[in-house]
A and B are shown apart, each in its own frame.
Chain A
Amino acid sequence: MPGRDEHHFPMIRRMLQLEAEEVDPAVVDLVPAGCRNSIRWHLGHALWSSEWLLLTLSNLPTTYPSKWQFWFGPGTSPADFAAATPDWPALLAALRVSTERLDQYLLTFDPEAELIHPMISEEHRIDVHTAFAAAIFAAGHEGCHYGQIAAYHRILTASHEPRRP
């Protein structure tokens, strides 16, 4: 039953969208002490990675230009940003476009379809061969960066809001 098992992903994406829309744009380029990245990087990385998992591994076109990989791909950081790197409003717009694309993909996808480019890592014993496994992996990955965006936002705005008792 295509699509049926996947409805975790739109829900998870909605959480990311709500969190991103609540972020104070004034702090998105700040790097908290001890950390390496910014909220802008985490959101770009989460968006790039989910399309990579759900679309690229199945040879489907992405909604982002390929150069996003050099700003937001694995191992990148804000130090790699250039003048053309999407700013915060552009990332929020890209999030909406990407979410529509992924929703559309999930309506028709076959969970058991074999990926054209399986993701295999011997180090972490990762063996992602099917569209379903890629969607599950994307859920964990978005969760990880959602958690970091939420934590960064909290720490970067802590001086403006009263601490909970």
Chain B
Amino acid sequence: MVDRDLQGLLVARRVLAPALDAIDPALANRTPAGFRNNLRWQLGHLITVAETLLLGVAAGRRPAVPEAYRGWFANDTSPADFDAGTPDWPALRHELDASTERLAEVLRELDPAADLAQPLAPRPGLLLATTVAGVVGYALWHEGHHGGRMACYHRLLGGNG
């Protein structure tokens, strides 16, 4: 039951992956008019935050994505922070699958009712979660949030779907 209940994120990834495969890679580096980011940043951010929340905060391990991802894709970064080492769209698409496998493994092991070693509170007055279940819920919201933005970017850039 526990196993099944935490699987929502994997469902989200099963919907996301084919949607990404339908995107013309040439669009990934274009910033839609009026926005600050692009599809490449959104995908890197989605991968980085899910790993930080689920492997880091929920499971108490080190996220497996390279530390450099934080400098390119953490909150408040943007494509202006990219450099020659920043993974391109195909590399991020590959990393997404690798990360999904890591998350699937950790989601099988987590106890949703377990308390976090420290509440997830990125700033004073903003308490996001005190339990593993709370982190998983927040992670899924975050995943949906950026998946929704990517769908919008893609349409605004003239892509279908």
Contacts and interface: CB of A to CB of B under 8 A. Distances in A.
B32 A155 contact: yes
A11 B128 contact: yes
Interface string B120-148: 00000001111101111110111111111
Interface stretch (A71-79, A82-90, A91-99, A143-151): A143-151
Given A147-B146, A147-B148, A164-B36, A142 B11 contact: no
A154 B33 CA distance: 10
A130 B138 CA distance: 18
Interface residues on A, range: 35 or more
B138 A12 contact: yes
16 contacts: A5-B112, A8-B129, A8-B137, A11-B127, A112-B1, A130-B4, A130-B5, A133-B5, A139-B140, A139-B144, A140-B9, A140-B12, A147-B152, A152-B152, A155-B32, A155-B34
Interface of A: 1, 4-9, 11-12, 15, 32-35, 111-112, 124-130, 132-133, 135-137, 139-148, 150-152, 154-155, 158-159, 163-164
**Which 5 pairs, one residue from A and one from B, show the smallest C-beta to C-beta distance?**
A143-B144, A8-B137, A147-B148, A158-B34, A144-B144
Interface of B: 1, 4-9, 11-12, 14-15, 32-36, 112-113, 127-131, 133-138, 140-149, 151-153, 155-158
